[in-house]
Amino acid sequence: MTRHFSLTRRGFLASVAAGGFALGFRIPAAAQDAATATTELNAWVVIHPDDTVVIRVARIEMGQGTLTGLAQLVAEELDADWEKVTWEYPTPGQNVARDRVWGAFGTYGSQGIRASQQYVREGGAAARAMLLQAAANRWGVDPATLTVSKGVISGPDGQTLRYGELAAEAAQVAVPAEIQLKDPSTWTIAGQPVKRLDTMGKLDGSQIYAIDMKLPGMVSAAIRQAPVMGSTVASFDAEAVMGMPGVQKVLQIDNDAVAVVADTWWRAKTALDALQIEWTESEHANLSMADIHAMLDEGLRSEDAFVGTQAGDVSAAVQNAANVVEAEYYFPWQHHATMEPMNATALVTADRCEVWVATQDAEAELAVASEASGLEIPQCEVYRVHLGGGFGRRASSHEYTRQAVLIAKEMPGTPVKLIWSREEDMIHGTFHPITKARMVGALDDQGNLTGLHMRISGQSILANLMPFMLEEGKDPFTFQGLNPDGEEGQFGYTVPNLLIDHAMRNPPVRPGFWRGVNNNQNAFYLETFMDELAHAAGRDPLEFRRAHMANHPRHLAVLEAAAEGIGWDTPPPDGVFRGLCQHMGYGSYVAAAAEVSVDDRGQLTIHRIVAATDPGNVVNPQQIEAQIEGSFAMGLSAALHGEITVEGGRIQQENYDTYPVITMWEMPAVESLIRPSGGFWGGVGEPTIFVAAPAVLNAVFAATGKRIRQLPLDSNSLRS
């Protein structure tokens, strides 16, 4: 899967830090690999003599379809034959060695396509131009007289040459100085609902995920990390389990974990379960949800808060209001619960450290491998193995890799596979942040929203994970989707007196980036409250929103599309009720409408969802549909069932029995309306997840008159 390049060429970690990189089509030192006669035209495109086109993918595939989408974009500009396209991942070591020719590997923030589309398309277009020039040279004609279709170049006299025949010569041609990219309206590969490139191995068990790694002589490790946050290893009785079947080693990792190494993982885990470990008393040993709720409640009323968006004078608007509406909301911690638990395989020798891992950021893993092994970056390498889900969990906090390397360091020359049990995975998650909100709305006598105060109280991801990104203490990510301007996530309403602020309260439970990130609670707070305001004003929720959206035509367009799709203007079937909402995040505009019913016992049925999205440009509509469907599964899981809690300093949920997720019987039908308005590139993997909860909860209100302000819905009774 991975072709190797000279790692000694130039530029190591410094270039990673520098971040800049040239257009991705520098000619490598050794353009031609004699053994296989494959030709690298540039960093993105490799062509085999049999016309197979290998497209290099720097971002990671974790189910979201990015791999196929990026390959479509390169193949489109290349005019490749899609039937002959395959792909490979370069390694982060190769990226470092080649001055980061592939740019960023990090795959999060719905950036996989939007942040790399420009340079990967340029890579495809440059390769195409070089192939054309090579053909023109052979035939002694002007390249402008040539045409290309599906990897075959035709000359003015009807002569043809295949890409596979020309690749070696094309690699010697000068890189074009100027590149013209195609207008998306002319695309034939990109923009099409092509099938994914990575399905085959997922049908017969042959796809290797990180947890499936096998290396000669490999051993396996199971680990127990301090169950109570903040406590450390006091002692453990290694001797007592050393005689158990297959056990090779029992060792402490850092100050807060103990690992058992055995010939198989099951034996390692069995011995670990038998191992007595004493932990030190932690300062958090009495931490409970009551403390955390009190901390957040205090923040709801605190004088001090970081201001996100401000306009006019909210206090005055509230004073002069004909009607003031107030409500408090709660969005609990959520776990990613990727189906594949965290794991990593490491092989360390005196002068080399190699890691095989499922990761959303292989370059960060490379730095972790270097740091944990004590070896220099050029002595380390990370191989990207398929991910059994990411959702943000594998984007930061790569402690499983650190642990695997630390164990492997104690067993030089022996590959070690470390697998976290599901229980370790859940207890030691990086959770969707916990927050509450206090919403105050001022309505005038016409039922128009004249003032809105949205106070968010709670956890900051950046303060915990990336404090260097704080702006004088403020976490700007907290305001995702609520920004007054910009292309990333704009507040979709015009309210003359507006204050959105954040009282940062950080309980000692580790937060992380969770699909949709802060947009999830922000959309839940804002869009259910907008529904409350509409009802308080006696206005239709669509009409009420529309009245405040004149300056936000793209937000409004998707909202109206979703409303039309659900049939908002016609009455729903008997016993069925509707709700809707909209939000903008990761550069895309999304909206949803839901139809639900609630029976006499309070059992909710979600019959139907219509979701509209405007991501600007569309690379693969059927993959967007898949992401929209998946977003409802995950977003509704959180809204209906998801809550991570802490008592006695310990996470209470350990597996899917106590952290339930949606299964087939609860999954609604989802109809996707993809409405690209062009001219920009928005994300796809995350945006729709934010509108899942509010659309359904607004419909639940319509059905029951019960306003769900505390998630998950399971903690509420719908008929009492």
Partner 1 sequence: MPRITVNGTVHDVDAEPETPLLWVLREQIGLTGTKYGCGIAVCGACTVHIGGMATRSCQVQLQDITPEDEITTIEGLSPDRTHPVQQAWLEVDVPQCGYCQSGQIMAAAALLANNPNPTDEDIAAEMTNICRCGTYNRIRAGIKRASELL
Query: What are the residues binding partner 1 (CB under 8 A)?
Result: 62-65, 195-196, 198-209, 211-212, 214, 220, 245, 264-267, 270, 337-341, 386-391, 419, 421-422, 622, 626, 629-634, 655-657, 661-665, 667, 669-670
Q: Which is nearer to partner 1, 528 or 637 (CB)?
A: 637
Q: From the CB of 224, what's the least distance to ligand FES, in Å? A: 19
Residue with tokens 């600007």, as numbered in its chain: 616
A 10 A CB-CB count for 310 gives 13
Q: Which is nearer to partner 1, 5 or 105 (CB)?
A: 105
Q: Which is nearer to ligand FES, 211 or 517 (CB)?
A: 211
Give the integer Cα–Cα distance in Å for 441 and 447: 11
Q: From the CB of 422, what's the least distance to ligand FES, in Å? A: 8
Q: Which is nearer to partner 1, 466 or 667 (CB)?
A: 667
CA atoms within 13 A on the CB side of 494: 9
Question: In the structure encoding, which two tokens stand for residue 302, read together?
Answer: 């605190």
Q: Which is nearer to ligand FES, 356 or 391 (CB)?
A: 391
Give the integer Cα–Cα distance in Å for 601 and 718: 8
Q: From the CB of 234, what's the least distance to ligand FES, in Å? A: 32
Q: Which is nearer to partner 1, 336 or 502 (CB)?
A: 336
User: Residue 211's binding partner, choosing from ligand FES, partner 1, none, with beta-carbon cut-off 5 to 8 A by kind?
Assistant: partner 1
Among 24, 63, 124, 585, binds ligand FES (CB under 6 A): 63
User: Residue 207's binding partner, choosing from ligand FES, partner 1, none, with beta-carbon cut-off 5 to 8 A by kind?
Assistant: partner 1
Give the integer Cα–Cα distance in Å for 580 and 575: 17
Burial (0-12, 13-18, 19+ Cβ within 10 Å), 179: middle
User: Residue 571's binding partner, choosing from ligand FES, partner 1, none, with beta-carbon cut-off 5 to 8 A by kind?
Assistant: none
Q: From the CB of 290, what's the least distance to partner 1, in Å? A: 29
User: Residue 118's binding partner, choosing from partner 1, ligand FES, none, with beta-carbon cut-off 5 to 8 A by kind?
Assistant: none
Q: From the CB of 211, what's the least distance to partner 1, in Å? A: 7
Question: In the structure encoding, which two tokens stand for residue 186, read together?
Answer: 């002319």
Residue type, 402: R
Burial (0-12, 13-18, 19+ Cβ within 10 Å), 607: middle
Q: Which is nearer to ligand FES, 19 or 205 (CB)?
A: 205
Q: From the CB of 199, what's the least distance to ligand FES, in Å? A: 11
Q: Which is nearer to partner 1, 67 or 456 (CB)?
A: 67
User: Residue 340's binding partner, choosing from ligand FES, partner 1, none, with beta-carbon cut-off 5 to 8 A by kind?
Assistant: partner 1
The CB-nearest residue to ligand FES is 339
Q: From the CB of 339, what's the least distance to ligand FES, in Å? A: 4
Give the integer Cα–Cα distance in Å for 530 and 534: 6
User: Residue 680's binding partner, choosing from partner 1, ligand FES, none, with beta-carbon cut-off 5 to 8 A by kind?
Assistant: none
Q: From the CB of 393, what's the least distance to partner 1, in Å? A: 11
Q: From the CB of 507, what's the least distance to ligand FES, in Å? A: 30
Closest C-alpha among 67, 75, 60 to residue 190 = 75
User: Residue 187's binding partner, choosing from ligand FES, partner 1, none, with beta-carbon cut-off 5 to 8 A by kind?
Assistant: none
Q: Which is nearer to partner 1, 421 or 497 (CB)?
A: 421
DSSP string, 148-204: EETTEEE-TTS-EEEHHHHHHHHTTSPPPS---PPPGGG-SSTTS-PPPSS-GGGTS
Instruction: Answer for the pair 394, 514: CB distance below 8 angstroms, yes or no.
Output: no
Instruction: Answer for the pair 114, 681: CB distance below 8 angstroms, yes or no.
Output: yes
Give the integer Cα–Cα distance in Å for 62 and 339: 11
Q: What is the radius of gyration, based on Cα positions, of the chain?
A: 27
3-state secondary structure 382-432: EEECECCCCCCCCCCCCHHHHHHHHHHHCCCCCCEEEECCHHHHHHCCCEE
User: Residue 483's binding partner, choosing from ligand FES, partner 1, none, with beta-carbon cut-off 5 to 8 A by kind?
Assistant: none
Q: Which is nearer to partner 1, 24 or 341 (CB)?
A: 341
Virtual torsion, Cα 70, 71, 72, 77, nearest 10 deg: 100
Distances from the Cα of 584 to the Cαs of 427, 613, 644, in angstroms?
32, 10, 26
Question: In the structure encoding, which two tokens stand for residue 319, read together?
Answer: 């004073």
Distances from the Cα of 577 to the Cαs of 251, 435, 672, 719, in angstroms?
58, 29, 20, 15
Q: From the CB of 389, what's the least distance to ligand FES, in Å? A: 5
Residue 307 binding ligand FES, by CB under 6 A: no
Parallel, antiparallel or unpaired: strands 219-225 and 497-504? unpaired
Q: From the CB of 273, what's the least distance to partner 1, in Å? A: 12
Question: In the structure encoding, which two tokens stand for residue 482, read together?
Answer: 């609520």
Residue 339 binding ligand FES, by CB under 6 A: yes
Question: In the structure encoding, which two tokens stand for residue 390, read together?
Answer: 């990411």
DSSP at 68: H
User: Residue 134's binding partner, choosing from ligand FES, partner 1, none, with beta-carbon cut-off 5 to 8 A by kind?
Assistant: none
User: Residue 664's binding partner, choosing from partner 1, ligand FES, none, with beta-carbon cut-off 5 to 8 A by kind?
Assistant: partner 1
CA 694 to chain CA mean position, Å: 20
Residue 572 binding ligand FES, by CB under 6 A: no
User: Residue 662's binding partner, choosing from partner 1, ligand FES, none, with beta-carbon cut-off 5 to 8 A by kind?
Assistant: partner 1
Q: From the CB of 84, what's the least distance to partner 1, in Å? A: 19
Q: Tell me how many residues contact ligand FES (CB under 6 A).
A: 3
Tally of residues, the chain: 720
Q: Which is nearer to partner 1, 95 or 519 (CB)?
A: 519
Q: Which is nearer to partner 1, 65 or 103 (CB)?
A: 65
Q: From the CB of 184, what's the least distance to partner 1, in Å? A: 22
Q: From the CB of 52, what's the least distance to partner 1, in Å? A: 20
Question: In the structure encoding, which two tokens stand for residue 530, read together?
Answer: 């907008």
Q: In sequence order, what are the residues at sequence separation of 6 or more whose Cβ sits closer than 8 angstroms to the Cβ of residue 384?
A: 60, 89, 91, 357, 358, 359, 362
Among 112, 389, 585, 685, binds ligand FES (CB under 6 A): 389
Q: Which is nearer to partner 1, 242 or 324 (CB)?
A: 242
Give the integer Cα–Cα distance in Å for 410 and 349: 10
Parallel, antiparallel or unpaired: strands 233-236 and 277-279? antiparallel
Instruction: Answer for the pair 248, 264: CB distance below 8 angstroms, yes or no.
Output: no
Residues that bind ligand FES (CB under 6 A): 63, 339, 389
